[in-house]
Amino acid sequence: MLNNQKLGDSRSQDYSEKFVNAGGVRTRYLEAGSGKPIILIHGGGAGAESEGNWKNVIPYLAKEYRVIAMDMIGFGKTDKPDLLYSQDLRIKHLVDFVEVMGFDQKVSLIGNSMGGATALGVSVERKDLVDSLVLMGSAGLVTELHDDLKPIVNYDFTRKGMINLIKALTNSSFEIEEKMVNTRFDFATDHETRKSYAATMQWIRDQGGLYYDDDYIRQLKIPTLVVQGKDDKVVPISTAYKFLELITNSWGYFIPHCGHWAMIEHPTDFSKATMSFLSQHK
Cα atoms in the 13 Å half-sphere on the side-chain side of 25 = 28
Residues 36-70 as b/e (b if ≥16 CB within 10 A, e otherwise) read bbbbbbbbbbbbbbbbbbbbbbbbbbbeebbbbbb
Q: ∠ CA 37-42-48 to the nearest 5 degrees? A: 140
Q: Pick the catalytic residue: 113, 196, 250, 271?
A: 113
Residue 222, CA atoms < 13 Å, CB-side half-sphere = 25
| Eight-class DSSP state of 111 | E
Query: Could you say which of 71, 93, 132, 260 is catalytic?
Result: 260
- Is 113 annotated as catalytic? yes
42 is catalytic: no
Q: Which residues contact 127 (CB under 8 A, 6 or more apart)?
A: 221, 222
Catalytic residue among 50, 132, 232, 266: 232
Active site residues per annotation: 113, 232, 260
